[in-house]
Amino acid sequence: MMSYEFLVASAIGVLVAGGIFLALRARTFQVVLGLTLFSYAVNLFLFASGRLVIGRPPIWDAVKGGAVTEYTDPLPQALVLTAIVITFGMTAFVVILALRSFLETGSDHVDGDTVPCDAQDGLAKADDGEDTRA
């Protein structure tokens, strides 16, 4: 049966897999995308660390005398908000840095090799149209 937990867990898993695959690529744009996907997965994971609860208030309802189990944990939501803000800023920074590095060194390789962009293997064919702009 496809439960809510399974859905969230598999979504996190797919995001992590995609993120790690892209983060291990050689060129900065793919690495940045990979890091972004990975950070989405991390945010979802943090959110789930307060347990997945549906239709409950984020505070304990003292008037109705609800048990402590009948609320959704508000803290992970605050944590996720912090994490989102930080990763958003970081992503913006790394995009600018990667662009600046590309413009100044003439290479968008993460390892710093100065490979001319139109002489790159494999992927060069796939996105040839964009690479020749340099």
Partner 1 sequence: MTFADHLPILPVMIPALAAPLALLAMRRRPALGIAISLVSCLALFGCALALMASVSDGTIHAYAVGDWPAPFGIVLVADRLAAMMLVLTATLALLALLHAIVTRADRKGWHFHPLFQFQLMGLNGAFLTGDLFNLFVFFEVLLIASYGLMLHGQGPARLKAGVQYVVVNLVGSSLFLIALGMLYALTGTLNMADMGLRVAAVAPQDQGLLRIAGLLLVSVFALKAAVAPLHLWLPRTYAVSTPAVAALFAIMTKVGVYSLIRVVPQVFGDGAGAAAWVPAPYLFPAAMVSAVIGFAGVFGARSLSEQAAYSVIGSTGTLLIAVAGWTPESLGAALYYLVHSTLAAAALFLVADVTARRRGAFADTASPGTAFTGRGGVALLFMAAAIAATGLPPLSGFIGKLMILKSVAALPDWGWAWGVILATTFIGVVGFARVGSAVFWKSTEDCEAPAAPASRRDLAAPVMALALLAALSAGAGWAGAYANAAAAQVLDPAQSAAAVLTEGAR
Give me the residues that bind partner 1 (CB under 8 A), please. Answer: 23, 28, 31, 35, 38-39, 42, 45-46, 48-51, 75-76, 79, 82-83, 86-87, 89-90, 93-94, 97-98, 100-101, 104-105, 110-112
Nearer to partner 1 by C-beta: 49 or 128? 49
Nearer to partner 1 by C-beta: 103 or 123? 103
CB of 84 to partner 1, least distance (A): 11
Nearer to partner 1 by C-beta: 46 or 124? 46
CB of 119 to partner 1, least distance (A): 19
Question: What are the tokens at 117?
Answer: 């962009």
Nearer to partner 1 by C-beta: 31 or 131? 31
